[in-house]
Amino acid sequence: MAEARSVQTMLEILRNGGRLERSALAGADLRQADLSGVRLTGLDLSGAQLLGANLQGCALSNCALDHVCLDAAVLTQAIITQCTARHASLRGTKLDHIWMQDCDWDECDFHVTDMTRLAALGSTFHRCTMHTAIIKEAWMSKCIFQDIKWDGASWDKVFLPDSKMEMCSMAGAVLTQCGFNRVTASGLNLSNAQADGISLYRATLDEACFDAASLDGAILDFARLDHVTLKGASLCRARLHAATSLGVDFSDSNLCDADLSHFQAVNADFTRASLQGALLHAAQLPSVSWRDARLENVRRDDPILREAELWQPTV
């Protein structure tokens, strides 16, 4: 543990580009400290108090942040790589415009944390408190989210390409212009969510729940939807081109003008679903229930699309 009388000396060493022993700042009182632009490499900051500290533009690499307090700290434009944190507190912290890579966050508190324009790659978030975090215009690729509750969250322009969402819930969330392309999100709960236009291209969504969700204009092309429930969901003008499914439930859903061309679904349930104007060109739907479904103006075959698919260049 750092001695109070030596903290300022150690901070000066860091500000001058020097290095410290790994445990030099463990448990240190660094409240309101100015560490802007400083490089923190290979340090054990476990238990350190960084309440309200200024770490704007700093670089944290290979640091241990267990039980660290970063409440109300400013890390705007920081670079955080290969750091681990367990039970860290980042309540009201500014993590905006930062680059994060290969970090592990375990049961950390991101209450009202500002993650605007966060860019994260290959990082893991396990059982973290994040439902009140401010997440917008963010990009989190190849990340792993485990047992995260985002119920009622509001996201704007958030993209999670190639990420994994394990046992996550976003019930009632508002997702504006978001993209979850190629995510693996088995068991994801998006019931009652407002996610018009969301992109779930090539996503694996086995056993996910979208009951009563608004997914108008959503893109689910090539998605896997085994045992997915979309009871009462609105999918007007949604795209499910070449998606595949076993046991998907569309009962009471609205699929007006949706594109289900080349959709492959075994044992699908369209009971009382509205499919007026939907495109089912070349769809394969064996053992499907159509009980009381509305099928006015459904286009089973599109001759123009068929001609395009069969076109071959002249020799």
pLDDT tens for each residue of 190-232: 999 999 999 999 999 999 999 999 999 999 999 999 999 999 9
Least reliable range by pLDDT among 14-18, 102-106, 252-256: 14-18
- Report the CATH number that the domain containing residue 19 is assigned in CATH: 2.160.20.80
Which of 148, 169, 184 is the last residue before a domain boundary? 148
Residues 225 and 261 in one domain: yes
Res. 3: pLDDT tops 60: no
Which of 107, 122, 148 is the last residue before a domain boundary? 148
Q: Which has the higher per-residue pLDDT, 77 or 305?
A: 77
What one-letter code names the amino acid at 186?
Answer: S
Provide the number of structural domains found in the chain. Answer: 2
Residues 162 and 310 in one domain: yes
- Tokens matching residue 293: 């479904």
Q: What is the pLDDT of residue 7?
A: 86
Residues 304 and 280 in one domain: yes
Q: What is the pLDDT of residue 84?
A: 98
Q: What is the pLDDT of residue 143?
A: 99
Residues 161 and 141 in one domain: no
Residues 233 and 164 in one domain: yes
Residues 74 and 205 in one domain: no
Q: What whole-number percentage of the chain has pLDDT above 90? A: 88
Confidence of residue 1 (pLDDT cuts 50, 70, 90): very low
Q: Which has the higher per-residue pLDDT, 4 or 29?
A: 29
Residues 271 and 207 in one domain: yes
pLDDT tens for each residue of 22-75: 999 999 999 999 999 999 999 999 999 999 999 999 999 999 999 999 999 999
Residues 274 and 170 in one domain: yes
Residues 119 and 177 in one domain: no
Residues 315 and 172 in one domain: yes
Residues 289, 285: Cα–Cα separation, whole Å: 9
Q: What is the pLDDT of residue 313?
A: 80
What's the average model confidence in pLDDT over 146-158? 96
Residues 197 and 105 in one domain: no
Residues 15, 20: Cα–Cα separation, whole Å: 11
pLDDT tens for each residue of 176-196: 999 999 999 999 999 999 999
- Domain containing residue 283: 151-315
Provide the whole-model pTM. 0.90
Q: What is the pLDDT of residue 301?
A: 76
Which of 89, 121, 148 is the last residue before a domain boundary? 148
Residues 176 and 104 in one domain: no
